[in-house]
Amino acid sequence: MLLHAFVPSSRANGPGLRAVVYFQGCTLKCTGCWNLSTHKFRGKDVSIASVVQRFEDARKSAALEGVTFSGGEPMQQAPALAELIDQIRRVAPGASFGMFTGYTKDELVTGDYVTRPRTSVANRTELWRSIAAHLDFAVMGRYDHTSPAVEALRTSRNQELVLLSSRYREGNFEQQLVEISIEPSGNSVVTGFPVLGFPV
């Protein structure tokens, strides 16, 4: 899979302490997107097992509640995402899963999205069905820079926080936060909601 970044623990991406997996690649071109460096389908091509290992390592130093998938666009690598969820579920059966996607629920349910490698509408519909069966929540819809939101996890008002299991209620999602993580390599990753702009 093409990986943009892995954040071992975050409080800004859903309930509790969560690892965040940023997929590399997005073709949706929302005007004003904050994550331009995640758009190209080029970058670190890593094995799914190596991402699971990073999750396992992260769990040794923090009591993680689950994983949030972000990007880029996770659903544009849906086969890898489905496999990643499956492998994490095996090592952490109680983990919760959340996702940020630029697609709406209708688009995903009907297979009206692009994914790599390319596959049929029937396969895309089935991929979403199998992924959704494991997700506890998803923030869905394109980012609309003309309509900023203040609600938990949403960057614009058109986006929906969809609860896909009974694990959480809307009240479990806290106000927007911004976090800056410094990786051992010295790289920094900004995650969450930098509504006042990025630090310089």
State in angstroms the smallest separation of the CB of 71 from ligand SF4: 5
State in angstroms the smallest separation of the CB of 92 from ligand SF4: 26
Nearer to ligand SF4, 64 or 153 (CB): 153
* Interface stretch with ligand SF4, choices 13-21, 25-33, 46-54, 83-91 (CB under 6 A): 25-33
When binding is defined by CB under 6 A, the residue of 20, 21, 26, 88 that contacts ligand SF4 is 26
* E strand residue ranges, 110-196: 137-140, 160-163, 178-182, 188-192
Site for ligand SF4 in 58-77 (CB under 6 A): 71-73
Query: Does 102 interact with ligand SF4 (rule: CB under 6 A)?
Result: yes
Q: How far is CA 14 from CA 70, 78, 124, 173, in A?
A: 11, 21, 26, 6
What lies within 8 Å, CB to CB, of 126 at 6+ separation is: none
When binding is defined by CB under 6 A, the residue of 6, 22, 69, 143 that contacts ligand SF4 is 143
What lies within 8 Å, CB to CB, of 79 at 6+ separation is: 115, 117, 119, 127
> 140 - beta bridge partners?
101, 160
Please provide the size of the chain in residues: 200
Q: Which residues bind ligand SF4 (CB under 6 A)?
A: 26, 28-30, 33, 35, 38, 71-73, 102, 142-143
